[in-house]
Structure 1
Amino acid sequence: MSETISKRAKCIAYLLMLVYFGSYIMRINVAAMLVTIYTDMAITKTAISPVITGMTIFYGAGQIINGILGDKIKPKYMLTVGLLLAAACNIAMFCCGIVPFMKNVPCMTVVWCINGYAHAMLWPPIVRLLSANLTDAEYSYAAVRVSWGSSFGTILIYSLCPLLLNLISWNAIILCFAIMGLAIAAIWVLLYPRFFHRAPQAADSKSAAPVRENTTAIPLPAMVFLPIVLIFIGIVLQGMLRDGVTNWMPSFLLESFGLSESQSIFATVILAVFSIISFSVFDLLHRKVFRNEVTCSAVIFGGSAVFGLILYFANLLIPADNPASVIVSMLLMAAIVACMHGINLMLITVVPKRFIKSGKVATFSGLLNAGTYVGAAIATPLFAVFADNAALGWSFTLLSWAIISALGCIVCLVIVPMWTKFRREYADAPVPATAAEAEETDPVPEDAQ
C-alpha cells in the first residue's frame, strides 16, 4: 500500500519546521560567533564556555520539566511562550554587547540560561502535536522535515554570520535574529488555527491512525526502564559529539590551519549540509533496512568511530600547510556530525513514538532530548580543556571523538535485544480491545491541538 501524505499533514510539517528553524537561529547564534565574542572580550575559550554550558544545562533540565508539562498544557501555548521568551533573551544578549555593566560572562550566562529554558518549551509540544494529529506515515514524513529546520537554521547562522561580522558587531547580529524570531512567532500564531482546528482525516487502517491522547493509557512494562536508561546514555554521547564538534570546529580550523575567524565560521555550513542529507538517508536506512532504531543507531555510531579515527590519523600524517589537510578535516568532521544527526533522529524522534500507548509521548521526548544537552554541557568545557592543554591539544581532542563514538556503538549494541523485545511485546503489539474501542470513538482532544 502506498503511503499517502495529506496536504494538511504537509502544512503541519512545514509550519513546525519553521518553528524549529526559529528556535535554532535564536539558540546557536552565540555558539556560532564564539571565536569572535571571546576575542572581542579578550578572554579564553575556557572563560567563555560557561555561557554555552549554562544554556545547555538549562535547556536539558527544561526538556525534562517541559516534557512533563507538555502532556498537560496545550502545545499552542507552550510554543508561543517559548518563542517569545527566546526572542526576549536574544534582545537581552544584544544589550550585553552595548551596556557596560552587562558586558561580562556572568550576566551573559544568566541571559543565555533563561534562553535555554525558553527553547526547552518547544520540542515536547512539537512531538505531541505530530503524534496526536498525524498517521504513522505522516509522522515519519513530518519528523524528517521538522529536523530539517535545525539544519536550515544552522546553514543560515553559519553562512550569514561571517558576512555580517564584516559589517556589524556580533551583538547587533543577535538582535537581527531576535527580530526574525518575533516574525516567526507571529506566523505561528496566525497559522495555528488553520491547521490544528480539527481532528486528522481517517487513515486507511486502524494501525496507521494516530493514537488519541484520551485513549485509556496502557501501563509500561518494567522491562523498558533499563533500555531507556541506556538509550539516554547513548543520547548523551551523541550530544557530546554533535554539539561539541559543531561548537569547536571554527576554533580548530582557526588554530590548526590559520583560517580567518569568518572563514572558520563559514566552513561550518558544510556540517549542516551533510545533516540535511543524513536525515533522509538514515530515515530510509531505518525504514527499509534495519527497521529498528537502536540497531540503526549502533551502525551509525560505528561509522562515526571510523570517521573519527581517520580524522585523527589524517591530522597526524598530513602536514597542516597541505591544502588537502583542511579539506579532509572539514569533510570528516561533517561526516561525524551528520552521523550524530542520524542518531538524534533515531533515538530522540523515533523512540518517543513507541510510547504513544502510554500517553506520555511529550514526557519521553523531553526526557530523551535532555540527554543531548547533558552531553553538550559536558563536551563544551571538556573539549576546551583538551584543546587548551599543551600536552593534549587538538590531536587528543580528535581522538576522543572516535572513542566517544565507539562507546556509543557498544551501548546501542547492548540495548538491541532488550529494545526488540519491548517493541514486540508492547510498542508493536495489537492494541487491547478496550483501548481500540476508545480510539475508534474518541476525537482528538482540544488540549492536544
Structure 2
Amino acid sequence: MPGVEAMRASVRYSTTVPFGTLAAYGLAALCSAMGCWRAVFAAAGLFLTATALCWLRGMRVLAPPLPAAPARSAARAAARPLPHRLPAVLALICLAALASGMIRDGIQTWTPTYLHDIYGLDNTFAIVLTFTLPLVNLCGVYMGKWANDHIFHSEAVTAAAAFLAACALLAAPALGVRLPLWACLALLGLCAALMLAVNTMLVTLVPLRLQNTGRVSALSGLLNSATYAGSTLSGYGMGLLLERSGWPAALPGLCAGALAASLLCAAAAHGWKRLRG
C-alpha cells in the first residue's frame, strides 16, 4: 500500500480501539448489574474465539500470495539499510510506548475504582460513567494527527507534547484537589484521548515513516509489544500501589510517568527528525 494511503488507513484503524473499549465497559456494566462477574470472562472468551475464526477466514481473502523467491530477493535488495542511529532512537521511543501503555491502562482500567473510592459511586454506575472515556478517545486519534501535520511535524515532538499535557491535567488530582465529578470525568477522558494520540504517533505512524527499510512489520510488532508490556505492568503495578499506598501515591505516579515519557520523546526528537526525513 502506498505511503499516504497506509497512513490514512492506519489512523482510521486506530479508531477501533475506543470502540472495543466501549464494548468491554458495556459488557462489564451489564454483568455487574446482573450480579455475575464470571459471565464477563465467559463472554469475552467466546467473543475472542469467534473473532479469531473470522480473522483466519478473512485473511485467506485479504492476504496477498507470497511472492516468488526472486521477487523477495529483489525487494530485500531495494530496501534501504537500517540507519545507524535508529537503535538509540528506537530504544527511547520503545520506553515512551511502554509508558503510554502504563498510563492509558492505568486510567482506563482503574477509573471505576477511582470513582467508587473518591466519589462513593456504586460500582455499576461508576462503570457506566466510564463509558465517556472511549467516546472522548475517538477524538484523540484525529487530534494527534492534526497536531502532527499542522503544528509539530514530528511524531516524537507530538507525543512529547501529548505526554506533557497529560501530566498537566493529572497534576490537580495528584495534588489532592477534589474536582467536581463532571470535571474529573472530562479530565480523565482528555488524558485517555492524549494517550491514544501518543499511541497513534509512536505505534502506528513511526513504523510507517520507516517503510523504505522494509521492516515495517517488525518495527510495528516491537512498539506494540512495548505498549502491551506497559499495559500489563499497569494492571499489576497500579493494583499493588493502590493496595499499599492508595490514590495519594498512584496519581502522582501516573503524573511522573507522563513527565518522564515526555522527556524521553523530547530526547528522541532530534534523531527522529533526521530519520523521518
Match for 2:201: what amino acid? M
Please show how residues 23-172 of structure 1 align to structure 2 within 5 Å.
Answer: 134-167=1-34, 169-172=36-39
Larger helix fraction of residues? 2
2:224 to 351, 364, 369: 369
Q: Which residue of 2 aligns with 1:87?
A: none
Q: Judging changes above 3 Å, is the alpha-carbon distance between structure 1 residues 423 and 398 closer, same or farther for their aligned structure 2 residues? A: same
Q: Could you say which structure has the greater relative contact order, defined with CA pairs below 8 angstroms and 6 or more residues apart?
A: 2
Correspondence 1:356 to 2:208: no
Q: Is the 8 A contact 1:311 1:332 kept in 2?
A: no
What's the % identity of the aligned pairs? Answer: 24
Q: Structure 1 residue 342 and structure 2 residue 197: aligned?
A: yes
* Cα shift at 1:186: 4.2
Deviates more, 1:324-333 or 1:141-150: 324-333
From 215, 238, 244, the counterpart of 2:100 = 238
Maintained 8 Å contact 2:210/2:276: no
The equivalent residue for 1:421 is 274
Match of 2:183 in 1: 328
Distance 2:223 2:182 in 1: 34
Q: Distance in 2 between matches of 1:183 and 1:367?
A: 26
Corresponding letter in the other structure for 2:27: L
Counterpart amino acid of residue 240 in structure 2: V
- TM-score, with structure 2 as normaliser: 0.88
Tell me the secondary structure at the aligned position of residue 221 of structure 1: coil
Question: 2-side partners of 1:258 and 1:384: how far apart?
Answer: 19
| Aligned pair partner of 2:122 in 235, 254, 260 | 260
Give the equivalent residue in structure 2 for 1:283: 145
Matched, 1:382 2:237: yes
Aligned residues between the structures: 270
Q: In 1, are the aligned partners of 2:6 and 2:208 still within 8 Å (CA)?
A: no
Say which SS state the counterpart of residue 181 (structure 1) adopts: helix
Amino acid at match of 2:159: S
Aligned-residue offset at 1:171: 2.3
Segments ≥4 residues shifted beyond 6 Å:
none
Amino acid in the other structure paired with 1:248:
W
Aligned-pair CA distance for 1:278: 0.7
Any conservation in 2 of the 1:236–1:373 contact (CA below 8 Å)? yes
Please tell me whether the aligned partners of residues 271 and 334 of structure 1 are also in contact (alpha carbons under 8 angstroms): yes
Structure 1 segments unaligned to the other structure (5+ residues)? 1-133, 200-211, 319-323, 425-449
Whether 1:402 and 2:255 are equivalent positions in the alignment is yes
- Relative to the length of structure 1, the TM-score reads 0.56
Deviation sequence 1:190-237 (CA, Å, 0-9, x none): 4445544589xxxxxxxxxxxx95553221121111111111111111
Relative to structure 2, which stretch is displaced further, 190-199 or 298-307?
190-199
Secondary structure at 1:395 match in 2: helix
- Displacement after TM superposition at 1:153 (Å): 0.8
Partners of 1:383 and 1:164 in 2: CA distance:
24
Instruction: Work out whether residues 241 and 340 of structure 1, in 8 Å CA contact, stay in contact via their aligned partners in 2.
Output: yes
In structure 1, distance between residues paired with 2:261 and 2:5: 29
2:136 aligns with 274
Q: How does 1:178-189 map to 2 (within 5 A)?
A: 178-189=45-56
**Is the 8 Å Cα contact of residues 292 and 420 (structure 1) preserved in structure 2?**
yes
**What letter matches 1:306 in structure 2?**
A
Q: Work out the CA distance in 1 between the residues paired with 2:209 and 2:51.
A: 31
CA distance in structure 2 between the aligned counterparts of 1:305 and 1:406, rounded to whole angstroms: 6
**Please, which runs of 5 or more residues in structure 2 have no aligned partner?**
67-73
Give 2:260's aligned amino acid: L
Distance 2:92 2:46 in 1: 40
1:164/1:233 Cα in 2 relative to 1: closer, same or farther (>3 Å)?
same
One-letter amino acid of the structure 1 residue matched with residue 28 of structure 2: C
Q: CA RMSD in A?
A: 2.3
Cα deviation, residue 361, structure 1: 1.3
